């Protein structure tokens, strides 16, 4: 079917990795498997308006962030279009007007690449679907994740919820390097409705882009051990998720976060992405845990902000601790209360 014009809107969440993806090969193939919680409140909403054009030689699009033209995003989207054109042959036949906005503040230091690229991939897939006669729901999701991966690796884990695995792994049936899949095994009650409160320690520009970061794993002295460790941690997490072993969960998740940062600290060139307040928060969490035995742990992305993970049944008590003690370490007292979510939505 050929279409002259139309529009689709998707909102797509961010995600937070429990076992981290850090290091990739050609074509956005991850060096190790990863698994993430899909978030709920942190999301990107994107509308794509498309209209047929005469000249089919080049890509043609405008991009608006919060209603204002955002030329800074053009190169990233152009690269994305170039990468996915083989899979979406209609791309040069249309002009696109891409309107996007994030639920979290633009300069919060929260990466919008996962939610942004997954929302864009889903909008393009809706066009593809409107033009094809027989695209199953399962194939739609798989291909959306595949395309999102080509925009930003971790974006392939933002299509569905609530736990997503990306990267081939022996112990996870159906896992693939090419797209994320819903975690296919039993998950204990205690992980339902899990909380992720994001403490915004540093809202500045990222010191190391993830592209540069992944490249630092080429020739990294500990690369091989790290990639093996990620696989082993994923295998171990499988048991933890099933049994509801929160102690095991906390120690695995924190080890993953610190290892991600350890990789950056030991690469060439090397980086320290934590800020003094990141460490103060970590120490405060450990002291609080020692005192109260609460099941509060942290994880980190490639930056200074801290994600606080905890079960719903302890949310009241831990919420008090966050407000009374941890918010003081946030830039301008800013933090975001989020929790596990169930994936992208067509609006």
Q: Which residues bind ligand PMV (CB under 6 A)?
A: 17, 20-22, 34, 113, 152-154, 210, 260, 301-302
**Alpha carbon distance 38, 158 (integer Å):** 6
Q: Which CB, 314 or 338, lies closer to ligand PMV?
A: 338
Q: Which CB, 129 or 275, lies closer to ligand PMV?
A: 275
In sequence order, the 6+-apart residues with CB closer than 8 A to the CB of 89 are none
Q: Which CB, 34 or 47, lies closer to ligand PMV?
A: 34
- Least Cβ distance, residue 242 to ligand PMV (angstroms): 22
Angle among Cα 35, 334, 253 to the nearest 5 degrees reads 25
- Least Cβ distance, residue 206 to ligand PMV (angstroms): 9
Q: Which CB, 11 or 152, lies closer to ligand PMV?
A: 152
- Least Cβ distance, residue 257 to ligand PMV (angstroms): 10
Give the containing element (helix H, strand E) for 237.
helix 223-243
Q: Which CB, 8 or 22, lies closer to ligand PMV?
A: 22
- Least Cβ distance, residue 193 to ligand PMV (angstroms): 21
In sequence order, the 6+-apart residues with CB closer than 8 A to the CB of 209 are none
C-alpha dihedral (337, 343, 346, 347), degrees to nearest 10: -10
DSSP 277-333: HHHHHHHHHHHHHHHH----EEEE-SSS-EEEEE-GGGHHHHHHHIIIIIGGGSGGG
- Least Cβ distance, residue 101 to ligand PMV (angstroms): 20
């Amino acid at each position: 079917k050929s279409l002259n014009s139309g529009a689709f809107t998707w909102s797509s969440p961010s995600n937070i990795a429990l076992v981290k993806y850090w290091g990739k090969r050609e074509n956005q193939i991850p060096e190790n498997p990863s698994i993430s919680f899909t978030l709920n409140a942190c999301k990107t909403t994107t509308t794509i308006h498309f209209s047929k054009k005469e000249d089919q030689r080049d890509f043609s699009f405008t991009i608006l962030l919060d209603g204002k033209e955002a030329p800074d995003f053009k190169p990233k989207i152009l690269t994305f279009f170039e990468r996915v054109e083989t899979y979406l042959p209609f791309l040069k036949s249309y002009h696109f007007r891409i309107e996007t906005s994030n639920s979290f503040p633009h300069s919060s230091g929260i990466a919008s690449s996962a939610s942004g690229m997954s929302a864009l991939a889903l909008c393009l897939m809706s066009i593809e679907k409107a033009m094809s006669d027989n695209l199953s729901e399962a194939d739609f999701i798989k291909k959306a994740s595949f395309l999102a991966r080509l925009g930003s690796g971790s974006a392939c884990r933002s299509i569905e919820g609530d736990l997503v695995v990306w990267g081939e792994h022996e112990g996870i049936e159906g896992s693939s390097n090419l797209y994320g899949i819903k975690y296919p095994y039993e998950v204990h009650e205690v992980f339902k409705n899990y909380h992720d409160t994001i403490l915004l320690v540093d809202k500045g520009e990222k010191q190391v882009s993830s592209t540069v970061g992944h490249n630092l794993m080429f020739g990294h002295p500990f690369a091989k051990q790290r990639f093996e460790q990620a696989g082993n941690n994923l295998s171990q997490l499988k048991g933890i998720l099933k049994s509801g072993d929160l102690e095991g969960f906390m120690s695995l998740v924190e080890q993953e976060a610190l290892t991600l940062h350890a990789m950056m600290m030991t690469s060439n060139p090397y980086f320290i992405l934590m800020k003094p307040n990141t460490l103060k928060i970590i120490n405060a969490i450990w002291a609080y845990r020692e005192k109260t035995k609460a099941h509060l742990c942290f994880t980190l992305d490639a930056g200074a902000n801290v994600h606080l993970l905890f079960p719903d049944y302890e949310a009241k008590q831990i919420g008090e601790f966050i407000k009374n003690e941890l918010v003081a370490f946030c830039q301008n007292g800013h933090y975001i209360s989020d929790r596990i979510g169930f994936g992208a939505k067509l609006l």
